[in-house]
Amino acid sequence: MNVCENYHNVNYVTNFIVRLIFMPVTPKKTLERLILYRIILEEMQSQGVTSAFSKELAGRSGCSAVQIRRDFMFVGYSGNPQKGYVVKELHEKICQLLEPEAGISMALMGIGNLGRAILGYFGKLQPKFRVIAAFDSDEQKVDRVIAGCRCYHVKEVNTILRPHNVQLGVITVPSNQAQEAAGLLIGAGVKGIVNFTPLRIKTPENIFVENMDITLTFEKVAYFARLQNRGGLK
């Protein structure tokens, strides 16, 4: 499986969210690769690697060295023919494109098991994403702080989100509530939605939606795994 074409296998939730925010100004495929490069560069820094050539990055990413050089030219960074790319500088350059200085504000609709996991993930591991508020219709969850985030009733979506100019909404409610949740987020000014339900929500053309149906993904992988086991996948 080509890593370049299937970048979402690495830190996929973060990748899709960044795509939602920046897709209007950067070609989609280029942006996907830049997100992958950023992850790889972070790993290299943690390993003490200070410089790298495009060939080495190609080996780690699954992209061609030529494509990598083109992508780095897109962000305005060029390497040294003798020393390659300075890992720290290149990482910073890509981050300048991907991450606004103020960070990314987001809201969560639905605080079930998946919703709690997402709150925990972004609260501790992804500080550049700031969850302004979480919403649920369950009175037992309202006015509680869950994974460091305060939970409000869904009736308060517009009141809570409007003052914060929240750009991104994440939907983890039951499928029969997904369309209503999307409507509330859009009404509060949200422009991008990550939808974790199987339902394909309907939105205006200016709203970007990324569907993340986990069940569909598992079933697809299971199908091809069975096919491979029978010797039918080439």
Could you tell me the residue ranges of all domains in the chain?
Answer: 7-98, 104-217
Q: Which of 151, 155, 163, 162 is nearest to 108 (CA)?
A: 151
For domain 7-98, the CATH class is mainly alpha
* 3-state SS, residue 194: strand
* 3-state SS, residue 213: coil
Q: Which of 103, 58, 112, 104 is nearest to 85 (CA)?
A: 58
Structure tokens at 187: 């009404």
Q: State which fold the 104-217 domain adopts.
A: Rossmann fold (3.40.50)
- What pLDDT score does 24 carry? 46
- Give pTM, 2 decimals: 0.69
pLDDT tens-place values along the chain, 234 residues long: 444 544 444 455 555 555 554 444 567 788 889 989 999 999 999 999 999 999 999 999 999 999 999 999 888 888 888 889 999 999 999 988 877 656 788 999 999 999 999 998 887 666 678 899 999 999 999 999 988 899 999 999 999 999 988 989 999 999 999 999 999 999 999 999 999 999 999 999 999 999 988 888 888 889 888 887 776 655
- For the chain, give the longest Cα–Cα distance: 63
Q: In what order do the strands lie in the sheet with 208-211?
A: 145-146, 149-153, 129-136, 104-109, 168-171, 192-195, 208-211
